[in-house]
Each structure stands twice: as structure tokens, then as C-alpha cells.
Amino acid sequence: MRRYWFMDSVAEITEKSGSGLSKVKMSLSHTREHLKLFLKAGGISFMKEDSKRLLRGMTEVRDQYILEAEVFTKRKRIRA
């Protein structure tokens, strides 16, 4: 609840609950899986596996690369 309603980070949940990091992560994972099964039973469809892999990959992009791309794009606009 804290993660998705109050937008707490995993570290904040760990601190507030007194539980270990791996326990909090596993609890969140189980909660997401139960929600997915509940929604599927209700007829809600989900993305294909390829789309899920793409989104997972996008979340792993480092902020450094995003900043570098912004600088490159700005330079390119100035030259044009």
C-alpha cells in the first residue's frame, strides 16, 4: 500500500516497517502477482511478454545516459 498509494520508496518502506530489504521487495512482488491474477480473472488483459521486456529495459536506463542524450540533442538543435 505504501509503495503504490503513498509513493514511498522501497528504502522508506523498509525503514518504516522494520523489515529487511529483500522481505519488502518479495512482498511487493507477491502483491503485484496477486493483483495481476485478480485482474486477469476479471477479464483485464496485459501486455505481451516483448512489451514487458522493453519496459523493464527502459527502467534500467541510467540517468547519466538520459542527460548525455539531452546535451547531444540540444547541441544538434543549435547547429541546425
CA-CA distance, 22 to 46, in Å (whole number)?
27
Query: How far, in Å, CA of 36 to CA of 32, rounded?
Result: 6
CA distance 73 to 65: 12
**Spatial separation of the C-alpha atoms in residues 48 and 6, rounded to whole Å:** 29
pLDDT of residue 22: 92
| Residue 7 falls in which region: left (phi positive, over 0), alpha (psi -120 to 50) or beta | left
User: How many C-beta atoms lie closer than 10 Å to residue 11's C-beta?
Assistant: 10
CB 8 within 8 A of CB 16: yes
What is the pLDDT, as a whole number, of residue 39? Answer: 80
The pLDDT value recorded for residue 3 is 74
pLDDT in tens, 16-32: 999 999 999 999 889 88
Q: What per-residue confidence (pLDDT) applies to 31? A: 87
